[in-house]
């Protein structure tokens, strides 16, 4: 599928519904005037599997968040091989570093399944920064947690055990600050998890079975329920 450009997505966008607005974790931190501007500015779009929300080299225009679905952040290595940085489940808002610097994207954000993405313009994002202390605190917390996430991602990349990679990658998707919309149950297929971890569906299935046998997760219809998040975060095979 040919990736959709930001312009094409914008042409399909619409205003956010009441339920969609209620799912945005930072909106209730704003005062009445700030909420009014955000609601008037916000656009929501249904994204098809394979479409790009952000693309390497494109100038930033919006700060985005995921209402429903599943996205992945990736790029290509110098040898042209794809590398996945992280997955993004519902409730996550992303790209604030790029928006802060008003620079072009250095990564791709792609939908792994049908997804609903919201966004506010760069100008509204900076307007909020200039006047809202609670919004600034939220962004600071996001940046701090994101840094920790990417440090953990580097560690995952160096792991040779597939079980360890799956456990740690799952733990990152259950991050209560970055992805408050997930809760205890993540809607994800074994194929989608394989895309994020870089393993086959069959090997992911084996890893999930091992994690379930150890009591760390429970595989349910259409998703994975975490039973022991701290154990997932520190998982190492054979310990």
Question: Which residue has better confidence, 172 or 116?
Answer: 116
In this prediction, residue 93 has a pLDDT band, given cuts at 50, 70 and 90, of very high
Q: What tokens does 165 get? A: 């990679």
Mean pLDDT of the chain: 88
Q: Which CATH number applies to 6-152: 2.60.120.10, 3.40.50.2020, 2.10.240.10, 3.10.180.10?
A: 2.60.120.10
Architecture of domain 161-233 in this structure: Orthogonal Bundle (1.10)
- Give the pLDDT score at 147: 82
Query: 117, 10, 113: which is closest to 66 by C-alpha?
Result: 117
Average pLDDT over residues 215-227: 92
- Helix ranges restricted to H, the chain: 6-11, 18-22, 32-41, 96-101, 122-131, 133-157, 162-173, 190-197, 201-213, 229-233
Percent of the chain with pLDDT over 70: 90
**Whole-number pLDDT of residue 2:** 37
Residues of the chain with CATH 2.60.120.10: 6-152
pLDDT of residue 76 exceeding 70: no
What are the b/e assignments for 204-216, b being 16+ CB within 10 Å?
A: bbebbebbeeeeb
**β-pairing verdict for 71-76 and 223-226:** unpaired
* Residue ranges of the chain assigned to CATH 1.10.10.10: 161-233
pLDDT in tens, 172-186: 888 888 888 888 889
- For 142-177, what is each residue's pLDDT tens digit? 998 888 877 776 676 666 788 988 998 898 888 888
């Amino acid at each position: 599928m040919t990736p959709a450009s930001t312009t094409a997505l914008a042409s399909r966008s619409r205003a956010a519904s009441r339920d969609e607005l209620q799912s945005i974790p930072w909106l209730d931190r704003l005062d009445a005037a700030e909420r009014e501007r955000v609601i008037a500015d916000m656009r929501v779009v249904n994204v098809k599997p394979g479409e790009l929300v952000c693309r390497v080299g494109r100038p930033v225009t919006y700060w985005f968040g995921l209402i429903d679905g599943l996205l992945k952040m990736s790029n290509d290595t110098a040898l042209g091989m794809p590398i996945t940085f992280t997955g993004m489940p519902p409730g996550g808002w992303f790209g604030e570093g790029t928006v802060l610097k008003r620079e072009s994207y250095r990564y791709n954000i792609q939908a792994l399944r049908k997804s609903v993405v919201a966004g506010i313009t760069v100008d509204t994002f900076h307007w909020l920064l200039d006047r809202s202390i609670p919004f600034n605190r939220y962004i600071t917390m996001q940046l701090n947690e994101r840094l920790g996430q990417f440090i953990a991602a580097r560690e995952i990349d160096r792991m040779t055990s597939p079980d360890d990679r799956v456990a740690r990658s799952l733990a990152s998707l259950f991050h209560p600050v970055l992805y408050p919309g997930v809760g205890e149950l993540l809607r994800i297929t074994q194929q989608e998890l394989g895309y994020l971890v870089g393993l086959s569906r069959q090997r992911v299935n084996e890893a999930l079975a091992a994690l379930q046998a150890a009591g760390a997760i429970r595989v349910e219809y259409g998703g994975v329920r975490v039973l022991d998040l701290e154990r997932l975060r520190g998982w190492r095979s054979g310990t």
